[in-house]
C-alpha cells in the first residue's frame, strides 16, 4: 500500500502540521516529518485537513432508478465532495426493507470502492407505514444496518413509531424520522407562507414537521430509545429539539446544506430545481438553523442528495419531482454559511460533518481523530479556492443542483479512504 506525506496542512484548521499515512492508517502527525522512501508528498500549505465526511442522508437511487444515479456515480460524487462514508436511503425500487436489498446495496458500495456505503433500512414494509420491516434481519445482514428510515415518507402512525423505537434498542439502532404529518401536507408543493399564498401553490406548513418531532421526542423519552430527526427545516423544530436535548433525551438531528442557504423566495421562479421536501423555508428559519447547528442543537449536516433525471425537473412545478443534489457542494455551502460567517470553525465542521454523523450511524472507522494509529479517512480542503458550479461537470448522473452558476468558496483537494486517495488534485483518483 502506498505511503503519503501531507505537508503543512492545518489539521482541523489549527497550526500547520505534517501527516504521514501508511497502510491505511495515520502513522505520524507532527512538524518537520521527512518523507520516507517511496512516499508521495502532497504540499498542503494553506489547506485544511479534516476527517473524511460522513453523510447520514444520501439517495443513491440504485436499485430501481439507475437513470438518476447509481452507487457507482453517487459514490464518485461523494468522494469529490470529501465524503468517505454515506448512508444510502431506503426508498429505492424495490425498497430496502429486507436483508437481501440492503446486502445488494452494501455489495455495490464495496465494488465501487470510492466511499463506504452504509444502507439505511426501511422502518416499515414498502415504506407503507403499516407493518415493521425485518429490522433485525437487516441489522444481522452483511450490511450491518444501524439506521432505519422511511425517508420520503413519515412513520406517521404513533404506535408503529413507538414500536420501531423500542425494537431497535435490541441492537443499538436508531430511527431516522422524516417528520411530515401527512394530513397537513396533502398535495403540498412548497413552504406555506406569504409566497405560497401569492403563487397559488399548496402549502407545506412548518407545524406539520414540528408536530411530528414533538410527538417523536416524547415517544423516544417514554421508551428510552434513540431518535434521529432528518432534514430539520424550521425554527420551531430547532426549538423543540433544543428542549428535548435539555431533558437529556437521546435525540439527534441533521440539517441539509440547502436549508442553510436557500429560501422559498426562489420558488417565485416556478423553477422545479427548487422543489424539495421538506421545502425551502424563510430567512428566519435559516437563521435559526444556522444558530442550532452552531450551538450543537443540530448535530449534523446531511446532504439529502436527491438526484432526478432531467425530465422530472424540466416541467411544470406541480408534476416535478422533489429533491436536489448535494454531495459535491455540501462542504462549500457549509463553508459559506457557517465558516465564512464566523458561526463555526473548521474543528466544528469536522464535528458536524464527520464525528457526530459517524457516531449517530455507529460507524467505528469514521469521524475519528487525526492521530497516529487512526484509520486514514481524511479530506483535504482548499478554503481559499472559489469555483462556479457547472451542472454538466458534476460526477452525479443527474444535474439538478440549485447552485448552478453560483460561485462557491472552497474546494476538496484530496480525499483518502483508509489511506487510499479517492480524489487527488480535486479530481477522481
Partner 1 sequence: MKRHLISAADLTRDDALLILDTAEELAHIAERPIKKLPTLRGRTVVNLFFEDSTRTRISFEAAAKRLSADVINFSVKGSSVSKGESLKDTALTLQAMGADAVVIRHGASGAPYTLANSGWLHGSVVNAGDGTHEHPTQALLDAFTMRRRLSGPDARGGLDGRRITIVGDVLHSRVARSNVLLLATLGADVTLVAPPTLLPIGVETWPCSVSYDIDATLAKADAVMMLRVQRERMNAAFFPTEREYSRRYGLDAKRMAALPDHAIVMHPGPMNRGMEIAAEVADSARSTIVEQVTNGVSVRMAVLYLLLGGSEPAVTTATTTEETTA
Judged by CB under 8 A, the chain residues 297 through 356 that form the site for partner 1 are 311, 314-319
Place of cell 501527516: 19
Instruction: Give the residue with the Cβ less far from partner 1, 321 or 363.
Output: 321
Judged by CB under 8 A, the chain residues 203 through 232 that form the site for partner 1 are 203, 205
Instruction: Give the residue with the Cβ less far from partner 1, 31 or 194.
Output: 194
Smallest separation (angstroms) from partner 1 to the CB of 273: 12
Cis bond upstream, residue 94 (ω within 30): yes
Judged by CB under 8 A, the chain residues 229 through 288 that form the site for partner 1 are 269-270
Smallest separation (angstroms) from partner 1 to the CB of 95: 21
Number of residues that bind partner 1 (CB under 8 A): 23
67 sits near partner 1 (criterion: CB under 8 A): no
Instruction: Give the residue with the Cβ less far from partner 1, 100 or 197.
Output: 197
Smallest separation (angstroms) from partner 1 to the CB of 198: 7
Instruction: Give the residue with the Cβ less far from partner 1, 193 or 375.
Output: 193
Instruction: Give the residue with the Cβ less far from partner 1, 38 or 319.
Output: 319
Kindly state the cell numbers that stand for 324.
436536489
Q: Which helix (H) or strand (E) holds 210?
A: helix 206-223
Which candidate, 116, 178, 125, 168, places its Cα nearest to that of 147?
A: 168
Smallest separation (angstroms) from partner 1 to the CB of 199: 6
CB count in 10 Å sphere of residue 91: 23
116 sits near partner 1 (criterion: CB under 8 A): no
258 Cβ neighbours under 8 A, 6+ residues apart? 276, 280, 304, 324, 326, 333, 402
Determine whether 285 is an active site residue: no
Smallest separation (angstroms) from partner 1 to the CB of 186: 9
Instruction: Give the residue with the Cβ less far from partner 1, 13 or 272.
Output: 272
Kindly state the cell numbers that stand for 152.
420520503
SS3 203: strand
One of 199, 294, 420, 428 touching partner 1 (CB under 8 A): 199
Smallest separation (angstroms) from partner 1 to the CB of 316: 4
| Candidate list 216, 304, 351, 382, residue with the active-site label | 304
Q: How far is CA 176 from CA 215, 216, 307, in A?
A: 14, 11, 20
- The answer to whether residues 65 and 93 touch, using CB atoms and an 8 Å cutoff, is yes
Smallest separation (angstroms) from partner 1 to the CB of 326: 24
SS3 267: helix
- The answer to whether residues 68 and 39 touch, using CB atoms and an 8 Å cutoff, is no
Instruction: Give the residue with the Cβ less far from partner 1, 201 or 327.
Output: 201
Smallest separation (angstroms) from partner 1 to the CB of 310: 10
315 Cβ neighbours under 8 A, 6+ residues apart? 272
**DSSP alpha helix (H) spans, 278-379:** 283-295, 330-334, 346-350, 356-361
Q: What pairing do the DSSP bridges indicate for beta strands 25-30 and 16-22?
A: antiparallel
Q: What pairing do the DSSP bridges indicate for beta strands 53-58 and 3-11?
A: unpaired
Instruction: Give the residue with the Cβ less far from partner 1, 199 or 223.
Output: 199
- The answer to whether residues 227 and 212 touch, using CB atoms and an 8 Å cutoff, is no
- The answer to whether residues 149 and 176 touch, using CB atoms and an 8 Å cutoff, is yes
Place of cell 518523507: 35
**DSSP alpha helix (H) spans, 81-134:** 99-112
201 sits near partner 1 (criterion: CB under 8 A): yes
Judged by CB under 8 A, the chain residues 159 through 198 that form the site for partner 1 are 189, 192-198
CA atoms within 13 A on the CB side of 274: 15
The distance in angstroms from the start CA to the end CA of the chain is 15
Catalytic residue positions, numbered: 304
Interaction site with partner 1 (CB under 8 A): 189, 192-203, 205, 269-270, 311, 314-319
Amino acid at each position: 500500500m502506498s505511503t503519503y506525506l501531507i505537508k503543512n496542512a492545518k489539521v482541523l484548521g489549527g497550526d500547520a502540521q505534517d501527516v504521514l499515512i501508511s497502510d491505511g492508517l495515520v502513522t505520524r502527525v507532527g512538524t518537520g516529518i521527512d518523507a520516507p522512501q517511496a512516499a508521495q508528498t502532497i504540499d498542503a500549505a494553506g489547506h485544511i485537513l479534516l476527517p473524511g465526511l460522513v453523510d447520514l442522508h444520501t439517495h443513491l437511487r440504485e436499485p430501481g432508478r439507475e437513470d438518476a444515479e447509481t452507487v457507482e456515480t453517487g459514490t464518485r460524487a461523494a468522494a469529490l465532495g470529501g465524503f468517505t462514508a454515506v448512508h444510502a436511503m431506503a426508498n429505492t425500487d424495490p425498497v430496502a426493507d429486507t436483508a437481501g436489498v440492503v446486502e445488494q446495496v452494501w455489495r455495490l458500495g464495496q465494488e465501487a470502492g470510492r466511499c463506504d456505503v452504509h444502507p439505511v433500512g426501511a422502518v416499515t414494509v414498502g415504506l407503507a407505514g403499516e407493518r415493521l420491516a425485518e429490522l433485525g434481519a437487516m441489522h444481522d445482514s452483511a450490511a450491518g444496518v444501524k439506521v432505519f428510515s422511511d425517508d420520503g415518507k413519515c412513520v406517521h402512525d404513533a404506535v408503529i413509531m413507538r414500536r420501531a423505537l423500542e425494537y431497535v434498542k435490541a441492537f443499538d439502532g436508531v430511527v431516522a424520522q422524516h417528520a411530515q404529518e401527512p394530513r397537513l401536507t396533502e398535495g403540498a408543493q412548497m413552504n406555506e407562507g406569504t409566497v405560497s399564498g401569492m403563487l397559488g401553490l399548496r402549502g407545506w406548513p412548518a407545524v406539520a414537521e414540528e408536530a411530528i418531532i414533538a410527538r417523536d421526542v416524547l415517544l423516544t423519552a417514554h421508551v428510552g430509545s434513540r431518535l434521529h430527526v432528518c432534514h430539520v427545516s424550521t425554527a420551531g423544530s430547532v426549538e423543540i429539539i433544543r428542549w428535548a436535548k435539555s431533558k437529556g433525551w437521546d435525540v439527534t438531528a441533521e440539517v441539509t446544506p440547502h436549508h442553510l442557504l436557500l429560501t422559498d423566495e426562489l420558488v417565485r421562479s416556478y423553477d422545479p430545481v427548487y422543489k424539495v421536501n421538506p421545502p425551502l423555508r424563510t430567512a428566519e428559519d435559516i437563521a435559526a438553523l444556522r444558530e442550532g447547528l452552531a450551538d450543537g442543537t443540530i448535530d449534523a449536516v446531511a446532504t439529502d442528495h436527491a438526484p432526478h433525471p432531467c425530465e422530472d425537473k424540466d416541467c411544470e412545478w406541480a408534476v416535478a419531482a422533489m429533491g436536489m443534489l448535494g454531495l459535491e457542494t455540501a462542504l462549500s455551502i457549509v463553508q459559506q454559511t457557517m465558516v465564512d460567517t464566523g458561526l463555526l470553525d473548521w474543528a466544528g465542521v469536522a464535528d458536524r460533518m464527520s464525528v457526530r454523523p459517524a457516531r449517530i450511524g455507529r460507524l467505528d472507522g469514521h469521524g475519528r481523530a487525526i492521530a497516529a494509529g487512526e484509520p486514514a479517512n481524511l479530506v483535504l480542503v482548499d478554503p481559499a479556492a472559489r469555483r462556479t458550479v457547472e451542472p454538466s461537470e458534476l460526477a452525479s448522473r443527474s444535474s439538478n443542483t440549485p447552485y448552478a452558476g453560483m460561485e462557491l468558496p472552497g474546494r476538496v483537494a484530496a480525499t483518502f479512504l483508509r489511506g487510499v486517495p479517492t480524489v487527488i488534485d480535486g479530481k477522481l483518483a
